[in-house]
Amino acid sequence: MKAVIQRVTSGSVTVEGEGTRAIGPGFVVLLGMRSGDTEKHTVWLAEKIANLRVFEDSEGKMNLSLLDVGGEALVISQFTLYADSRKGRRPSFADAAPPEIADALYRRFAELLQHAGVKVQTGWFGAKMMVSIENNGPVTLIIDTDGLV
Candidate list 9, 20, 38, 80, residue with the active-site label: 80
Q: Please tell me the predicted confidence (pLDDT) of residue 148.
A: 79
Q: Please tell me the predicted confidence (pLDDT) of residue 27.
A: 98
Active site includes 78? yes
Quote the domain boundaries for residue 100. 2-144
Candidate list 79, 109, 122, 145, residue with the active-site label: 79
| In a domain? residue 128 | yes
Q: Please tell me the predicted confidence (pLDDT) of residue 73.
A: 98
Candidate list 42, 78, 121, 122, residue with the active-site label: 78
Helix or strand holding residue 59 (H, E): none
- DSSP state, residue 77: E
Q: Which among 81, 85, 86 is positioned nearest to 145, based on CA atoms?
A: 81
For the chain (length 149 residues), average pLDDT per consecutive 10? 98 93 98 96 97 97 98 97 93 95 97 98 94 96 88
Provide DSSP, 6-54.
EEEEEEEEEETTTEEEEESSEEEEEEE-BTT--HHHHHHHHHHHHH---
| In a domain? residue 149 | no
Helix or strand holding residue 106 (H, E): helix 99-116
- Domain tally, the chain: 1
- Rounded CA-CA distance 69/92 in Å is 39
CATH number at residue 29: 3.50.80.10
| In a domain? residue 91 | yes
Residue 68 amino acid letter: D
95: phi then psi, degrees, rounded to nearest 5: -80, -15
123: phi then psi, degrees, rounded to nearest 5: -85, -165
| In a domain? residue 15 | yes
Q: Please tell me the predicted confidence (pLDDT) of residue 147.
A: 82
Active site includes 9? no
Q: Please tell me the predicted confidence (pLDDT) of residue 149.
A: 61
Active site includes 27? no
Q: Please tell me the predicted confidence (pLDDT) of residue 17.
A: 85
Q: Please tell me the predicted confidence (pLDDT) of residue 61.
A: 97
